[in-house]
Structure 1
Amino acid sequence: MYINKFMKVAAAVLLIGGGTMSAYSQGFKDGKIWLNEDGSNYFKFTLVSQIWLRNTDMNPGTTINGYAKDNYTDIGVRRARFQAFGQIADRVFIYSQIGMNNFNYSSDRKAGFFIHDIMGEYEVVKKHLSLGGGLSAWNGLTRFSAPSVGTILGVDAPLFEQSTNDVTDQFLRKLSIYAKGKLGKLDYRVVMSSPMAVQKSNGYVPTVGTYATFSAKPAKMQWHGYFQWQFLDQEANTTAYTTGTYLGAKKVFNIGAGFQFQPDAMWRAGNNGDTVESNMQHFAIDAYYDAPINAQTGTALSAYASYINFNWGRGYIRNQATMNPANGSNKPEILNGSGNGYPSFGTGNLLYGQVGYKFKNNLIGKTTLMPYASLQYAHYDRLKDNMAFWDGGINWLLKGHTSKLTFAYQSRPIYQVDAATQEAFKTDRKGSFILQYQVFLN
């Protein structure tokens, strides 16, 4: 009730101050501020909040502010996002998003929201070709290289599909120009991006070592694209973000393929004391199925699988530590680093799959349940043992994605570096329990 009142007031303010726009504005309808009589020109706001309560078995040697910890419980804001976007004129689209990620007890205080996206787009050929640019999530490689965070199947998206996340981009968003559109059942996006300076990334090391790292030289343009054939219901491509699950509201089956390429993006030390440069080049294929099983009762199935060939150069490894509850380690031989880190990115081959089943509507009062499971399985050159990270849990859909509670357990492998060969071998597994509450105004 209060939200509707707020939106109506906001619409009224725009009507009063909108100049010539006010002559044909129609007010607030269908969750949008209509800018013309039929609503084809509109502006829209969304808001999402994801809060985590988590207990983590820490990686060996983990410290928090210098104190050794092997287990820790924390509360954090995994994501908070505010979107404002719309078709503000025929053929003209604008999109912006501000927010924050991974705010917990050790974060800088009063850091505030930052710009995630700001871009403009012009529709050159109706439905078939749009051109745009700015700080944008239009990415290549895979479906979930730009996931819709409010519709994720579990507690998190497959973040490794965002291959340069916060290394040469800003939480997957890149300074880009792009082309996107639909040609029959083919949905496509092709992007040219200007990589951000690797020197600004967290944990940047300027020295050139035995294994490939991102080059500190001025970066060349990055090229990437993603193409998917949509066999059944057609998905919208208004924004870059792809839906995690429709909860049975659509019948979707897509097969996709993508790439990412940047010349001379990487470097390493050669055998003769020279510096060897190499390209960053990735290729992926994936498939997505999300559909009702019984439309009358509301049961539904969601499934996704991907294969990625990552090539960052010889021996490249990068850890993923989502909202890391720790900030130090006294065991440098542990490849994972501190807290909840694990080697998620690396040169080699990766398989990923996730599946979820939605029970019938009104299973528990007016709510229902949707259990899920996912597996990330990789053979990376530098790891003597294959890497397997799995995640399983259950969503309590209090009101679809608008209000949902998710309980999950994540299990990750621990690797130790062999001092003689510098290869890493698996020694143990650790896990985390996560309880997430999501509120999504869409």
Structure 2
Amino acid sequence: MRTSSDTLGTPPTAASAKPDVDKNELRYNLNTSGSHFFKVTFLNQTWLRFNQSNPGTTVIQEPKDNTFDIGLRRTRMQLFGQISDRVFLYIQFGLNNFNYLNGGFNPTASSNRKIQAFFHDAVGEYLVFKNKNYLNIGGGLTIVNGLSRFSAPSVATIMSLDVPVFAQATVDQTDEFSRKLSLYARGQIGHLDYRVALTDPFPIQTSGTALPTYGPNAIYALKGHHKQFQGFFMWQFFDKEAHQTPGYNTGTYLGAKKIVNFEAGFITQKNAMVRVDAPGDTTYQNMNLWSVASFLDMPINREKGTAVNAYLGYFHTDYGKNYLRFNGIMNPASGLASGYPAGTQGNAFPMFGTGNVVYGQFGYLLKRDLFGPGNGTLMPYVHAQLANYQRLTKTLGIYTVGLNYLIKGHNGKLTLDYQNRPYYETIGNQYAPQGRRGQLTLQYQVFI
């Protein structure tokens, strides 16, 4: 940081010297009180990752037992502000899952590695009761979602390396990276934090991937269009959660708040799914998803700065009979050898499906300035996803252990994360686990 001695050649006197305090945000006040403002944030999450490939994996047409890749999990900017007492604007722009394959590889065509960045959110919001946060009405492209807190996560503040993506239930199928065109209402009344939304989902035909094929297993409907209804509700026993930006839920407050919540949410859509059991026998099914959960994030010893984070949730996910979708985050593989189950390449596992899921996580924040003043501290964590999906012969188990080095809270942190997952073979119409693979990732996050 430059002082007056850098520019004027004269060091400050003892009387004029002021403490060197970092400003932690890029904010422009629109009035003298600061109640009207506009703010800009930037986030970059860089991954260095070693992955044990699922059987049959190929990378640019060569078999690969393992891969090492460097990528950008998320690169984002937010622009938002309270324009007047009642008017709020929120815009987010960025890219995701940018590695050497740029989210996909087509061996028969030229690729374009410059097409990833897009608007994630573009929302206008109106505060109905002046100076009261009882009711905010908004509309636009937004992540205001039902189902769970992890369906609309604040990715800059998550405790672990990544969020449980299965909770972003329709991601890149009938939405745009979990964002949808919606009209919503949200607010906080006493201990209750709520949001409800009427959503206009995108048709599966605009997902940018090959269309699913009709068969006895449910897929997203290729005919018809129906609105989606969503809701998420939190009962906050102690401190209230952050409520400034539309929809986003903080991952961990690092001991700054005492949060104990009971949460519930849902997503429902008429005739969202379809299956064909036999020629001429077409059945449309509603999509019905709901969850209940508890969330805790609170200090243990305020003087030392220790804190704990815990979550336990139960999810009922009904996408129609036998729906199952494999997915791998920023998949480092481009293809699969013949004879292996489709979609199982790289780090993919059956992330979404009709059935029931239990997800839990736990983390412990060690004392403040563990390595000396200004040198940060550590936060180890574990989490697990257990799923009973209709097309799996056994319970799916995804297990993760990790360690955050919080150099400057969430503004600068390193995360080392190990994930263990099963891989599968097909037995008739079902998938049976045949072994397990691991993935080790180092993330460096910078956020302001």
Give the TM-score, by structure 2 length. 0.90
1:214 to 1:112, Cα distance in 2 relative to 1, 3 A: closer
Aligned positions of 1:25-44 closer than 5 A:
31-44=26-39
For 1:215, the equivalent position in structure 2 comes to 221
For 1:320, the equivalent position in structure 2 comes to 327
Which of 378, 382, 387 is matched with 1:378 structurally?
387
Counterpart check, 1:224 vs 2:233: no
Counterpart check, 1:106 vs 2:106: no
For 2:75, the equivalent position in structure 1 comes to 80
For 1:437, the equivalent position in structure 2 comes to 444
For 2:301, the equivalent position in structure 1 comes to 294
SS of corresponding position for 1:138: coil
For 1:171, the equivalent position in structure 2 comes to 177
Give the conservation status (yes or no) of the 8 Å contact 1:188–1:226: yes
Give the conservation status (yes or no) of the 8 Å contact 1:86–1:95: yes
Aligned positions of 1:391-410 closer than 5 A:
391-410=400-419
Residue identity (%): 48
Give the conservation status (yes or no) of the 8 Å contact 2:344–2:423: no
Counterpart check, 1:368 vs 2:377: yes
For 2:53, the equivalent position in structure 1 comes to 58
- In the TM superposition, what is the alpha-carbon distance from 1:202 to its structure 2 partner? 4.8
Separation in structure 2 between the aligned mates of residue 332 and residue 278 of structure 1, nearest angstrom: 31
Cα deviation 1:28-74 (Å, max 9, x = unaligned): 99742111121111100100100000000011001111111110100
Cα RMSD, aligned residues only: 1.5
Q: Which amino acid aligns with 2:162?
A: D
1:29 to 1:58, Cα distance in 2 relative to 1, 3 A: closer
Separation in structure 2 between the aligned mates of residue 228 and residue 29 of structure 1, nearest angstrom: 29
SS of corresponding position for 1:199: helix
For 1:24, the equivalent position in structure 2 comes to none
Give the conservation status (yes or no) of the 8 Å contact 1:335–1:417: no
- In the TM superposition, what is the alpha-carbon distance from 1:332 to its structure 2 partner? 4.5
SS of corresponding position for 1:149: coil
Give the conservation status (yes or no) of the 8 Å contact 2:264–2:291: yes
SS of corresponding position for 2:213: coil
Counterpart check, 1:329 vs 2:336: yes
Q: Which amino acid aligns with 2:121?
A: D
SS of corresponding position for 1:144: helix
Separation in structure 2 between the aligned mates of residue 104 and residue 332 of structure 1, nearest angstrom: 27
Give the TM-score, by structure 1 length. 0.91
Give the conservation status (yes or no) of the 8 Å contact 2:204–2:211: no
Cα deviation 1:197-236 (Å, max 9, x = unaligned): 2012254334311100000113200001000100011112
Q: Which amino acid aligns with 2:126?
A: Y
Give the conservation status (yes or no) of the 8 Å contact 1:164–1:172: yes
Q: Which amino acid aligns with 2:320?
A: G
Separation in structure 2 between the aligned mates of residue 31 and residue 66 of structure 1, nearest angstrom: 46
Name the one with the larger helix percent. 1
For 2:431, the equivalent position in structure 1 comes to 424
Counterpart check, 1:131 vs 2:140: no
Separation in structure 1 between the aligned mates of residue 212 and residue 265 of structure 2, nearest angstrom: 31
Which of 41, 60, 76 is matched with 1:46 structurally?
41
Separation in structure 2 between the aligned mates of residue 393 and residue 30 of structure 1, nearest angstrom: 28
Separation in structure 2 between the aligned mates of residue 282 and residue 388 of structure 1, nearest angstrom: 20
User: What runs of 5+ residues in structure 2 fail to find an aligned partner?
Assistant: 3-22, 103-111
Separation in structure 2 between the aligned mates of residue 332 and residue 224 of structure 1, nearest angstrom: 40
SS of corresponding position for 2:156: helix
For 1:236, the equivalent position in structure 2 comes to 242
Q: Which amino acid aligns with 1:221?
A: K
For 2:152, the equivalent position in structure 1 comes to 146
Bigger drift between 149-158 and 204-213 goes to: 204-213
Give the conservation status (yes or no) of the 8 Å contact 1:97–1:116: yes
- In the TM superposition, what is the alpha-carbon distance from 1:319 to its structure 2 partner? 1.3
For 1:182, the equivalent position in structure 2 comes to 188
- In the TM superposition, what is the alpha-carbon distance from 1:401 to its structure 2 partner? 0.6
Bigger drift between 198-207 and 299-308 goes to: 198-207
Bigger drift between 60-69 and 324-333 goes to: 324-333
Cα deviation 1:341-360 (Å, max 9, x = unaligned): 00011000000001100110
Cα deviation 1:127-186 (Å, max 9, x = unaligned): 111111000010011011110010111110111111001100000000001000111110
Counterpart check, 1:311 vs 2:357: no
1:29 to 1:347, Cα distance in 2 relative to 1, 3 A: closer
- In the TM superposition, what is the alpha-carbon distance from 1:272 to its structure 2 partner? 5.8
- In the TM superposition, what is the alpha-carbon distance from 1:334 to its structure 2 partner? 2.8
For 2:120, the equivalent position in structure 1 comes to 116
SS of corresponding position for 2:358: strand
**Where has structure 1 moved over 6 Å in runs of 4 or more?**
none
- In the TM superposition, what is the alpha-carbon distance from 1:433 to its structure 2 partner? 0.5
Give the conservation status (yes or no) of the 8 Å contact 1:335–1:424: no
SS of corresponding position for 1:326: coil
Counterpart check, 1:191 vs 2:197: yes
- In the TM superposition, what is the alpha-carbon distance from 1:283 to its structure 2 partner? 1.0
Separation in structure 2 between the aligned mates of residue 242 and residue 150 of structure 1, nearest angstrom: 10
